[in-house]
Amino acid sequence: MLDVDAAIRKALKEKDHPALVGYRALKAKVNIKLTEAGRGADKPLTEAELLALIQREVKERQESNEFLTPDRADYQENARIIEVLQAHLPKALSAEETEAAVRKAIADSGAAGPKDMGKVMAALRQVQGVDMSTASARVKALLQAGG
């Protein structure tokens, strides 16, 4: 699991400004998550929670870059931050691997029709690297065809 504090120290030593900005933004999200209401003071983040925060930060930076032109400095910095943070995310599954994961989740959950989509999606959330929007569309298509 990524040690955000160690990553910040490393970025400081290497004078890697975009990495430092990215890790500090991630650290801020981690601190907010740790201070949420109802969360015990002694309960650290799980790896899944940290990955979700990294994905959210990457997505926000990608959305920000949609409104910028590639010749701007802030576009370049966001692109570098995205690159740094994506290195900590699991590799995305290929179309074939996603298809296999979807079919396995349907079989494992015993889903018989569209009403069981929630069970299948809950099972797929446990599989790292699955693009949930692609998987959702595939699950819906398979369940409607089968039920």
Looking at the structure, tell me whether residues 12 and 63 fall in a common domain: yes
Q: Looking at residue 10, what is its pLDDT? A: 96
104 and 32 in a common domain: no
Q: Are residues 67 and 128 in the same domain?
A: no
* Same domain, residue pair 77 and 103: no
Enclosing domain of residue 81:
4-86
Question: What is the CB neighbour count within 10 angstroms for residue 10?
Answer: 14
In order along its 147 residues, the chain shows pLDDT tens digits of 789 999 999 999 999 999 999 999 999 999 999 888 778 777 888 888 898 899 999 999 999 999 999 999 999 999 999 999 999 988 888 888 888 999 999 888 888 888 888 888 888 888 878 888 888 888 888 888 764
Work out whether the CA dihedral 34, 39, 41, 44 comes out positive or negative: negative
- Do 102 and 128 fall into the same domain? yes
Do 74 and 120 share a structural domain?
Answer: no
Q: How far apart are CA 108 and CA 123, in angstroms?
A: 8
Among residues 122, 123, 2, 101, the alpha carbon closest in space to that of 55 is found at: 2
Q: Is residue 99 located within the same domain as residue 61? A: no
Residue tagged 């430092």 (tokens): 20
Q: Which residue among 86, 103, 123 closes a domain?
A: 86
Based on the domain organization, do 54 and 21 belong to the same domain? yes
C-alpha dihedral over 28, 29, 31, 36, to 10 degrees? 140
**Structurally, how many domains does the chain consist of?**
2
**Length of the chain measured in residues:** 147
Same domain flag for 82 and 131 = no
Tell me the CATH number at 108: 1.10.10
Same domain, residue pair 48 and 119: no
